[in-house]
């Protein structure tokens, strides 16, 4: 039996963001291939509590669970300052005149605890999520003979381009990804960029989802449009654009369901808008809607909610950024425009033209089945992890 250490700072069971959904799907892959899985996470980053940890253990996703605190409690201020704050100040390179232009989330305390786990175990694979945590394997003799793998999730420099020196940030991101034997890229764009500069093997590992059940079983849909989004800054900006620029152009009888934490940032209230902050299972809503919305003006990487909609054979109306990461940019079930009027026209075409709707629905399902269906993706991952 092969053994993997799987590090993810967030709680994958909190399925309110695409990155957690992806981590959960990766754990599902290792479980399906009978790997022994040691899961490591960070208490504060993942906003864990004791109930969350117990629920995760009872979910039977892994064999062992380690939720480590990257910093001590502040009960003893002197101890906190002398043995955590000050050492970590220098370790994180924040004490110098030229601070690192890339997020460093690993603390000295956390790295020591991580090393202890590695020291006590022999792993075939060490799987790290995010380049901002990549230094967990840097200068770490306890990785031993394990194959190190990083799931990049996103092109972080692109996300930070207005906050940092782009050149220095990009150089550091490439350096960190190159620390690993294998890098997984979620999108074709990121695979292309990373493979041009990284010294290691960069593999495309797109989002993978189960094929939904009961697709097409509901004849009369309650919702014309479904919009699923978390509350990150890109979604906030894009949602504001949609509701300020596009929504006023739509007929008032178009029924819209908005699901997710994005609702906390929307002030609009109308009789044709249904707001749902959180649902455990989105399938009921996807099955009861006609068209998916993905207004997206900024951001990088594959939009998980687009892939989810495609899995239901549901056409998607989005901006150009909405198809980032999709392997096929054409005939993929998405109608794309960055113009508010055209965006509205795309919506109305799907809602009023049965032939146009059917064509896009077929394209959506074909795109999913070819590139994102779980078993297809599992076979591609086998080429990496079943050698």
Q: What is the mean pLDDT of the chain?
A: 88
Domain membership of residue 218 (yes or no) is no
At 17 the pLDDT is 72
Domain membership of residue 343 (yes or no) is yes
User: For position 192, which CATH number holds?
Assistant: 3.40.50.2000
* Alpha-carbon gap, residue 325 to 154, rounded angstroms: 10
150 and 45 in a common domain: yes
Domain membership of residue 216 (yes or no) is no
181 and 44 in a common domain: yes
Give the pLDDT mean for 166-189: 92
At 248 the pLDDT is 95
At 93 the pLDDT is 59
Domain membership of residue 213 (yes or no) is no
203 and 323 in a common domain: no
At 83 the pLDDT is 54
At 95 the pLDDT is 43
Map residue 215 onto helix, strand or coil. coil
Tokens representing residue 132 in the block? 């901002």
At 74 the pLDDT is 63
233 and 170 in a common domain: no
Encode 224-257: b = buried (16+ Cβ within 10 Å), e = exposed. bbbbbbbbeebbbebbbbbbeebbeebeeebbbb
Give the pLDDT mean for 244-254: 95
For residue 97, how far is the Cα from the chain centroid? 34
Q: What is the pLDDT of residues 110-158, one digit of tens each?
A: 999 999 999 999 999 999 999 999 999 999 999 999 999 999 988 877 7
Torsion of CA 224, 230, 232, 236, to 10 degrees: 30
- Given a cut of 70, whether residue 163 has pLDDT beyond it is no
- Residues in contact with 220: Cβ distance below 8 Å, sequence separation at least 6, in sequence order: none
Domain membership of residue 263 (yes or no) is yes
pLDDT band at 216; cut points 50, 70, 90: low
At 97 the pLDDT is 44
266 and 191 in a common domain: no
Higher confidence at residue 185 or residue 96? 185
- Given a cut of 70, whether residue 76 has pLDDT beyond it is no
Domain membership of residue 42 (yes or no) is yes
279 and 184 in a common domain: no
At 34 the pLDDT is 95
Q: Are 56 and 13 in contact (CB under 8 A)?
A: yes
Q: Are 374 and 25 in contact (CB under 8 A)?
A: yes
* Alpha-carbon gap, residue 216 to 313, rounded angstroms: 9
Domain membership of residue 217 (yes or no) is no
- Given a cut of 60, whether residue 263 has pLDDT beyond it is yes
Other C-beta atoms lying within 10 Å of the C-beta of residue 112? 10
Domain count, the chain: 2
Q: According to the 3-state scheme, what is the secondary structure of 291-336?
A: EEEECCCCCCCCCHHHHHHHHCCCCEEECHHHHCCCCCCCCCCEEE
Higher confidence at residue 194 or residue 160? 194
Map residue 123 onto helix, strand or coil. coil
Burial-class residue 141 by CB neighbours within 10 Å (0-12, 13-18, 19+): exposed
Give the pLDDT mean for 238-265: 94
∠ CA 250-252-256, rounded to 5°: 80
At 346 the pLDDT is 97
Structural domain span for residue 349: 223-371
* 3-state DSSP helix/strand/coil % of the chain, to nearest 5: 45, 15, 40
240 and 110 in a common domain: no
Lowest mean pLDDT among 68-82, 84-98, 268-282, 290-304: 84-98
Give the pLDDT mean for 330-344: 95
* Alpha-carbon gap, residue 160 to 166, rounded angstroms: 8
- Given a cut of 90, whether residue 168 has pLDDT beyond it is no
Domain membership of residue 294 (yes or no) is yes
379 and 312 in a common domain: no
- Residues in contact with 342: Cβ distance below 8 Å, sequence separation at least 6, in sequence order: none
Other C-beta atoms lying within 10 Å of the C-beta of residue 313? 22
Tokens representing residue 320 in the block? 């150009």
251 and 177 in a common domain: no
pLDDT band at 11; cut points 50, 70, 90: very high
380 and 365 in a common domain: no
380 and 296 in a common domain: no
349 and 232 in a common domain: yes
- Packed helices 374-385 and 18-32: angle between N→C axes, nearest 10 degrees: 70
Lowest mean pLDDT among 183-187, 241-245, 274-278, 351-355: 274-278
């Amino acid at each position: 039996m092969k053994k993997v250490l799987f590090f993810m700072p967030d709680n994958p069971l909190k399925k309110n963001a695409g990155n957690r959904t992806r981590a959960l799907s990766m754990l599902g892959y290792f479980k399906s291939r009978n790997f022994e899985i040691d899961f490591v996470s960070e208490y504060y980053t993942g906003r864990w509590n004791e109930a969350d940890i117990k629920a995760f253990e009872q979910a039977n996703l892994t064999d062992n669970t380690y939720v480590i605190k990257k910093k001590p409690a502040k009960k003893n201020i002197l101890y906190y300052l002398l043995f955590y704050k000050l050492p970590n100040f220098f370790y994180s390179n924040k004490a110098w005149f030229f601070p690192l232009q890339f997020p460093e989330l690993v603390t000295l305390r956390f790295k020591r605890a991580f090393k202890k786990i590695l020291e006590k175990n022999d792993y075939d694979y060490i799987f790290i999520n995010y380049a901002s945590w990549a230094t967990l394997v840097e200068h770490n003799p306890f990785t031993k003979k394990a194959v190190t793998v990083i799931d990049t999730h996103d092109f972080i420099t692109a996300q930070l381009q207005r906050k940092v020196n782009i050149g220095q940030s990009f150089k550091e991101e490439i350096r960190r990804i190159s620390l690993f034997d294998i890098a997984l890229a979620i999108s074709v764009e990121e695979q292309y960029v990373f493979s041009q500069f990284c010294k290691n093997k960069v593999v495309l590992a797109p989002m993978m989802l189960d094929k939904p059940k009961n697709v097409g079983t509901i004849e009369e849909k309650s919702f014309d449009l479904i919009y699923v989004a978390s509350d990150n800054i890109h979604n906030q900006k894009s949602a504001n654009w949609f509701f300020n620029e596009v929504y006023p152009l739509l007929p008032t009888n178009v029924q819209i369901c908005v699901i997710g934490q994005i609702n906390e940032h929307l002030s609009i209230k109308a009789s044709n808008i249904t707001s749902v902050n959180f649902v455990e299972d989105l399938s009921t809503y996807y099955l009861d809607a006609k068209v998916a919305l993905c207004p997206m003006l900024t951001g990088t990487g594959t939009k998980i909610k687009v892939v989810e909609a495609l899995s239901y054979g549901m056409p998607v109306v989005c901006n150009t950024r909405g198809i980032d990461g999709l392997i096929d940019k054409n005939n993929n079930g998405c109608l794309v425009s960055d113009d508010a009027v055209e965006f509205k026209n795309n919506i109305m075409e799907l809602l009023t033209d049965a032939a146009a709707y059917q064509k896009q629905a077929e394209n959506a399902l074909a795109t999913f089945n070819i590139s994102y269906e779980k078993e297809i993706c599992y076979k591609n991952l086998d080429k990496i992890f079943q050698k």
